Amino acid sequence: MTLVHLTNGDAAADRLRAAGLEGRVIVSADVLHEGPVIDDGDEDAYRRRRATFLARVGLDTEDGAFATLSRWDADVDAAQEADEVVLWFEPDLFDQLVLVRLLARVASQRWRPRKVSIVCRESHPRLGNLSALGTLSAAAARVLFVERVPVSDGATTLAARAWQALCAPRPVPLAEMASVESTALPFLPQALQRLLAEYPDIRDGTSLTEHRILQAVESSPLQGIRVFRAVQRMEPRAFMGDVTVFARLRTMATARHPLVSVPAADHLASWRHATVSITQAGATVLRGAADAVALNGLDRWVGGVHLHGDRPRWRWVRSAGQLIEPS
């Protein structure tokens, strides 16, 4: 029997390999909560669109990103020749979106493994917290492998609906999916709610990530890596990598009316040690006395929805957890 283990990144892959599990370990780890997610059936165009965005925000070069995305997809496609593919993913937003894409491909028969099983748990009676596969012990990995469960038809059907909603040019289907509770994909609704919180808030125009960045530096300046750690602590299910947070910081620092101040830094990795301070504009926005979108405009993708200009059509009501279309 041939096995393939498919997981969310290199750290988790290394842990699974160290556990000595039978089979090959591969990765699929696109940051689908950032940038355009538009699936028109042309997977090469889909990857090129994603690569262009990743290069624009400084997460990679366009050619480098395209090569990585293509390699991940090629490995996934080849995995369908195995007797079983085991999906190892976490409950957070990053993982749930990658998982939805994979299972939607099963539902559409673009990807047809003989058998698909899954390990996706937040905790275990004997093993404790399991939210970070990159810190999984070899013993825990072996226990979880034995306890893996088959992916149900209900899970693939639900994933297909969620993927279609994510790629839609309007956010209403995504908001509707965020309220669909199911034992098939129990962590999906909260993940989608977190994604919707990246719409500009009705009170201050910030996404939840931007709001938390401002909260982190409200009292005193912090190094970029400490800003990242502070934002992580505010997340019930942390999902963003440090470089992704640094890309958001750079956007906030280079806006027409900067919300944070950061001394000149080149590559995003150098932002780990840069000192981040809140500006007067940032403090005003954090108090709710100014609107970040009115100050700086907006150019952000949430799935298939492009938010742009200084009067975006959709707003998030952070206090109510609700998406609205202001009149």
Whole-structure pTM value = 0.96
Q: What is the pLDDT of residue 257?
A: 98
Query: Distance between CA atoms of 279 and 301, rounded to whole angstroms?
Result: 25
**pLDDT at residue 230 greater than cutoff 70:** yes
The answer to whether 145 and 120 have CB atoms below 8 angstroms apart is: no
Q: What is the pLDDT of residue 312?
A: 85
Contacts 24+ apart (CB under 8 A), 225-230: 225/272, 225/273, 227/276
Query: Distance between CA atoms of 48 and 67, rounded to whole angstroms?
Result: 9
Quick one: pLDDT band at residue 311, thresholds 50, 70, 90? confident
How much is the average pLDDT of 82-90? 97
The torsion of the CA quartet 34, 39, 45, 49, rounded to 10 degrees, works out to -20
Fold that domain 3-192 belongs to in CATH: Dna Topoisomerase Vi A Subunit; Chain: A, domain 2 (3.40.1360)
Instruction: Return all residues near 179 (Cβ < 8 A) that are at least 6 apart.
Output: 189
**pLDDT at residue 246 greater than cutoff 80:** yes
How much is the average pLDDT of 291-316? 94
- List pLDDT tens digits, range 153-194: 999 999 999 999 999 999 999 999 999 999 999 999 999 999
How many CB atoms are closer than 10 A to CB 181?
Answer: 10
**pLDDT at residue 269 greater than cutoff 80:** no
Residues carrying CATH 3.90.199.10, the chain:
197-324
User: How does DSSP assign 247-258, residue by residue?
Assistant: HHHHHHHSSSS-
Q: Two tokens at 20?
A: 């000595």
Fold that domain 197-324 belongs to in CATH: Topoisomerase II; domain 5 (3.90.199)
Query: Distance between CA atoms of 278 and 221, rounded to whole angstroms?
Result: 7
Please state which of the ranges 62-71, 119-128, 203-212, 292-301 shows the lowest mean pLDDT.
119-128
Instruction: Return all residues near 256 (Cβ < 8 A) that are at least 6 apart.
Output: 295, 296, 297
Quick one: pLDDT band at residue 129, thresholds 50, 70, 90? confident
Please state which of the ranges 122-136, 155-169, 212-226 shows the lowest mean pLDDT.
122-136
Q: What is the pLDDT of residue 266?
A: 65
Q: Two tokens at 129?
A: 């917290």
**pLDDT at residue 90 greater than cutoff 80:** yes
Residues carrying CATH 3.40.1360.10, the chain:
3-192
Give one word for 151, left, alpha or beta, with left for phi > 0 and alpha for psi -120 to 50: beta
Query: Distance between CA atoms of 322 and 138, rounded to whole angstroms?
Result: 41
How much is the average pLDDT of 250-277? 88
How much is the average pLDDT of 290-304? 96
Q: What is the pLDDT of residue 200?
A: 97
Q: Two tokens at 191?
A: 């993940």
φ, ψ for residue 317, nearest 5 deg: -100, 95
Query: Distance between CA atoms of 40 and 277, rounded to whole angstroms?
Result: 42
Q: What is the pLDDT of residue 101?
A: 98
Quick one: pLDDT band at residue 265, thresholds 50, 70, 90? low
Q: What is the pLDDT of residue 206?
A: 98
How much is the average pLDDT of 297-322? 94
Q: Two tokens at 164?
A: 């279609």
